[in-house]
Amino acid sequence: MPNLRERGREDRSLTYTDWRRTIGEGTYCQDIDQVEYRIIDGEIVPVLMLELTRYDYDTEPTEGYFTAILERFDKSQRKAATKFATLLGVDCIIVLFKHDLAKFWIFNLTTNQGWYGLDKKGYKDWLVKCRKKK
């Protein structure tokens, strides 16, 4: 078995995920990156569903880059991602993050609003403030 670990971390589901995508025959699966939740009165309460994508360049992304992300989601992921978020009672957010975590851009896929740029502290503060929509 090859050593897939880098700095003690690995994507342990990659082999399964690649194989699972070959099944077809009317079966589908969606990789959801994260579900943000809070514990309120001892209960788990979902607040956001996040789809993460990394930006590997030192320059600011262009408008075309943001458009390409949305086009990729529109091809296959948007319908499933927003449906699952609705079932959880939360919004689905795309988070584009710079490789060094210096900058984050968020787009609300559920309400079709964004791209909002935040620095690391701003993104952390935004996450902490997130609460379930009433």
Containing structural domain, residue 87: 32-129
Q: Is residue 68 part of a domain?
A: yes
Q: Is residue 44 part of a domain?
A: yes
pLDDT for residue 24 is more than 60: yes
In percent, the amount of the chain with pLDDT more than 90 equals 71
Q: Is residue 84 part of a domain?
A: yes
Q: Is residue 46 part of a domain?
A: yes
Q: Is residue 62 part of a domain?
A: yes
The pair phi, psi for residue 110, each rounded to 5°, is -70, -45
Question: Two tokens at 18?
Answer: 């690649």
Q: Is residue 10 part of a domain?
A: no
Q: Is residue 92 part of a domain?
A: yes
pLDDT for residue 134 is more than 50: no
Tally of domains within the chain: 1
**Residues 60-111: tens digit of each pLDDT:** 999 999 999 999 999 888 999 999 999 999 999 999 999 999 999 999 999 9
The pair phi, psi for residue 32, each rounded to 5°, is -100, 125
Gap between the Cα atoms of 78 and 21, Å rounded: 17
Q: Is residue 23 part of a domain?
A: no
Gap between the Cα atoms of 58 and 122, Å rounded: 19
pLDDT for residue 7 is more than 60: no
Helix (H) or strand (E) holding 118: strand 113-119
Predicted pLDDT at 81: 95
Nearest to 106 by CA among 57, 56, 50, 65: 50
